[in-house]
Amino acid sequence: MDITKRLMLDALDELVKAEFKDFIWHLSNGVAEDIKPIPRGKLEEVDRSDVVDCMVKQYSDDAGKITVQALRNIKQNDLAKRLELKFREVQQPVQDARHAPVPVEPQPLQSDGKLRNMTQSSQEFKQKMLQDVGDEIYRPASSQRKGSALLITNIVFDYKEYNRVGAEIDEENMDWLLRALGYSVVKRRNLSGEAIDREVRNFSKLLPEHRDSDSTFVVIMSHGSRINNRDAILGVHYHEKNNPKDVYFVDETFSHLNSVNCPALIHKPKVILIQACRGDHPGGVEVRDQVPESDSWFHEEKDFVCFMSSLPDTASYRNAITGSHFINYIVDVFCERAHEHHIMELFTKVTSGMATRPGRTRDKLLPCLERTSLTKKFYLIWPEINNRVNYTLKEALVHLVDQELIDMDCNITRYCVSNLICQLCHLGISRVVEAWNNHRIPGVNISQLLQEKESPTSLHRVVLQKKKFSSTILPNGTEAADLYMDTLGSSLIRVSSFGMDPFTSEHEKATVEQLFSEKWPDIAVLFNNAVNKNFLPFKEALITLVTLTQRYS
């Protein structure tokens, strides 16, 4: 709690006098509808330290989260974001850097203040599923991305009484979950009904992204209603009397993503999540998500699943501090069970959890599946090596190419890229293997080791399992590509583009290695930054290596 108080005080110290006064006003009048205000008498003639003590005394472990929300209430969004990240950092255990797992993006907080973690599926489980029920599941694609996701959140409306307090928490949680599952997220906020329609339509036209993907998500969170027996999402300009036509009908999403309008997603799962009211019937006690007062060759609509936060004609609810129950249950269940359950089982777990959730009134919450046309089982989590290592480094490389900072047609550049990338992949794979070997699977105890007992000293030992294979019985490059095509229906690159060794002597090569190691003694720094989307160190190191190689070769 001492650390929490210090972080709270540091944040309040950044407020000017008028902002601090506004902050106190929100505390005494209620940060949110379900948060008990602090009596005005306790907040008279107090300094920042007194306010922190007062908040901790009244709100205990929730004081930090309430501080973040109060900062958002006074439009200090950047400060609120930084404070929230600091709270997360202090809750993560300190680890030996040599044995730390691959860095990941900050994870969302649960309502109890604990960090969420995505449980990874075992390689044995994935292989077993492919072998035993391969024809009954949607097979993962071999492309560099799992898929694209569209995330639309309406928070601020023209009419302030419609504003959705706490919706930014849902947006943050959903964004984290989708990225943790391997999706690239297109995020949009505060849209009219017409703009929502345009964004979903544009998203359906992302042909390269959808063509190379294996699935997609569309998540829409806003106020909602039932209009002429159709589910409607309300735009930010909506008003029951002044502008009742600012809506987007949910069924349009199916039209935009069907086989006619989005052929790139044919035979691929399309998951639609809707957090919105569907009517006025009771359903909770917090902030309510309703307004106060074809083709002849393919099925036109196939491989869809739509999961909505409430039953028809029923309201949906959101907590101003923790976000909506629906989104929180989805994130919790997916984090704990997506490694071994397909998506329909996950949705069943969410429904079961919400059905048994204790309620303080007659209002009850129950989500609902709509227009489901999945023909196979859809598993979300597959091999982590690509997501954690290979694709991250490839993304760093693509950034350099896009910025025209390197020329991949140059032999020396290709040689240097291959050299550095292989070293970083070696490091990343070692970490993933070590993390896997140390992972205890519930009900199964310790997982089978992927490597020999002694510590790996070369790339070969990292990737070898207990059985050793002679290189003479392994397929050559062409045979491997053919086998890959036959097994997964997609192709590998058949021609090597590593680049030829440009050095004429071992002395030249040793000189470059020595000079490079003086500049970059620990290449783990490059990997750690790259996986957290900071590509600058990788760029500088690669350009240094190319420059040195050009000079001495």
Distance CA 65, CA 285 (A): 20
Please identify which of the residues 26, 210, 223, 339 carries the catalytic annotation. 223
Assess whether 223 carries a catalytic annotation: yes
Distance CA 537, CA 525 (A): 8
CB 413 within 8 A of CB 549: no
Assess whether 335 carries a catalytic annotation: no
Q: According to DSSP H, which parts of 14-47 are helical?
A: 17-29
Q: Label residue 35 exposed, middle or buried (CB < 10 Å: 0-12, 13-18, 19+).
A: buried
CA distances from 519 to 26, 261, 532 (A): 52, 53, 22
Helix 63-73 × helix 17-29 angle, to 10°: 120
Residue reference for tokens 């300009």: 237
- Main-chain phi, psi angles of 521, to 5 degrees: -65, -25
Distance CA 324, CA 343 (A): 20
Please identify which of the residues 262, 277, 335, 425 carries the catalytic annotation. 277
CB 393 within 8 A of CB 386: no
Q: Which residues contact 527 (CB under 8 A, 6 or more apart)?
A: 393, 424, 427, 428
Helix 2-13 × helix 63-73 angle, to 10°: 10
Beginning with the edge strand found earlier in the chain, give each strand of the sheet holding 323-324 in spatial order: 287-288, 317-319, 323-324
Mind telling me the catalytic residues? 223, 277
